Amino acid sequence: MDDAATLTTRCSSLPLQHACPASAHAPPGEPRLKTNDSAATLGSAFHRAIASAVLADRMDADTIDEAAAVYGVDDRPELARLCWTGWRLWDTSLRRWFPEPRVEVEMRGTAHGLTLSGHADVLSQADREARVLDWKTGWADDGDPAPQVRGYAWLAMAGYGLVRARTWTVRVREQVADCDVLTWRQADDALRLVAERLRQADAYNPGPHCRWCPRALHCPALRQTLALSVEMLGYVVDEVVLPEEADKMLDVVRLVELACERARAGLKALVASHGGALPLKSGRELALDRQTQHPIVVTPDSMAIVAAECASDPDYCATLRFTKSAVEKAVKDNAPHGQKAAAWRQTLARLEEAGCLGETTTERLVVRRALPLINQET
C-alpha cells in the first residue's frame, strides 16, 4: 500500500488490512513473509477451473486436470472434489442469478483517497443491479470476507453506473452461499470507512488473521501479544472464564494456536529434511506419521450413485451436503433396519468402482521408539 495522499490496495487484501491496518504499512526494508502454500495453490487452481466451467457451461475432468497442471497441484483428488462441489452449487442454485456471466473481471476505481482494484470471480448485470460472486475454498474461520466483497460491489456499481449490488460469498467446503444486497450509498459509505481505517498506520490488532500477514515474522505487536497470551493461559487453566471475557479469551487461544501451527510446520520441515525420522537424545525419534483418507469426489457419477441409494427423486442430491459423513447418514437412514451397514458398504463399493473416491494424505508428528538399524555387514 502507498503512503502517499492516495492509498492503493486490492479488494483481496481488505479483510486483513481492515482487521489490522498496520499490516499494510511495513517499514522500508522489512522482510516480508511469503504466505503462499498448498492451500493457496489449490485455491488458485480451483478458481481457474471453475471460471472455465462457468464460461463453457460444463465441468469435466479435462478442465480440472488442466488447472492442476498449470498450478502444480499435488492433491488432484482434493481439487476435483472442490471443483465438482463448486460446480454443483453453481449449476443447481446460483446460475439463475447470473445472466450472461463474465469471469475474472478486473475493475479499478478511486474514491475517498483510496484507489481500489480487484477482479470479480463472476459478474453479471440485471435491472440496474450488479451481481457479484466470490468463491472461497478455505474454511469459515479464515477471516471476514465482507470488506473484500463490498469492495467488489462498489467497483461494479461505480464502473457500470449501477444503483445496487447483490453479492454472494460461496464457501465451497461448507457448501454455503451467503447473499447480501447493497445500495450505492451503503457501499460508498463502507468504502469511506475502510479508507479512513487504512490510514491508521500504527493501529496494530493481533489476532487469528496474523496467519495471513506478510509482516507476521517481524510484527512487534504480535510478539508482545503472544508472550502475554501464553502467560494469561497459564493463569486461567484452573479458573472459570467469566462470560464477559469469553470473546477475549477465544482470541488469546487462537493466537497461541497460530504460534503452535507455525512451530509445528517448522518441526515437520525439519523432520522431513532428515528423511521423515529425527533421532532424539532420549533414544526415541520424532517422525512423520502419514494417514490416508478417501473422500467422495462430487461428480455426476457419484451424485447418481448416491441418489439411487437414497431416493427416487432425481433432485435429491441438490439438497444434500455432499460430505462423506452426510452421505453415510443419508444412505443408512434410507436403508431397512438391520441392513444399514451393508447398504453403506455397497454404496462405498459402487463409488470406488466408479472412481468417485479420492485420496488425501495428512501428516502428523509422533514420538516413537527409534526403529532398529539393519546391519548390512556379513
Looking at residue 375, its pLDDT comes to 45
Going from the C-alpha of 360 to that of each of 71, 140, 222, 294, 354, the distances in angstroms are 18, 21, 33, 6, 18
User: pLDDT tens-digit profile of 17-50?
Assistant: 888 888 888 788 776 666 556 788 999 999 999 9
Quick check: 149 and 134 in contact, CB under 8 A?
yes
Instruction: Give the pLDDT of residue 320.
Output: 59
Length of the chain: 378
Q: Residue 184: how many CA atoms within 13 Å on its side-chain side?
A: 10
Q: What ranges in the chain are assigned the alpha helix state H? A: 14-19, 38-56, 61-71, 76-89, 146-160, 184-198, 220-236, 246-273, 300-310, 324-334, 340-353
Q: What is the pLDDT of residue 3?
A: 45
- Please report the DSSP string for 248-271 in residue order: HHHHHHHHHHHHHHHHHHHHHHHH
As a whole number of angstroms, the distance between CA 13 and CA 26 comes to 14
pTM greater than the 0.75 cutoff? no
* Cell numbers found for residue 142: 479464515
Segment (H or E) for 277? strand 277-279
Q: Which residues on neighbouring strands pair with residue 364, listed in sequence order? A: 289
Spatial contact of 18 and 197, defined as CB atoms under 8 Å apart: yes
What pLDDT is stored for residue 376 in this prediction? 39
Give the gyration radius of the chain's Cα atoms. 24
Separation of alpha carbons 98 and 116, rounded Å: 24
* Ranges under pLDDT 70 in the chain: 1-5, 31-37, 140-142, 217, 227-242, 244-245, 311-322, 371-378
Can you give the residue ranges of every domain in the chain?
Answer: 7-198, 219-270, 275-369
Looking at residue 4, its pLDDT comes to 47
Instruction: Assess contact for 121 and 51: CB atoms under 8 A.
Output: yes
- For residue 2, what pLDDT is reported? 47
Q: How far from 35 is each of 32, 84, 135, CA to CA, in Å?
A: 9, 26, 19
Is the CATH code 3.90.320 the one for domain 7-198? Answer: yes
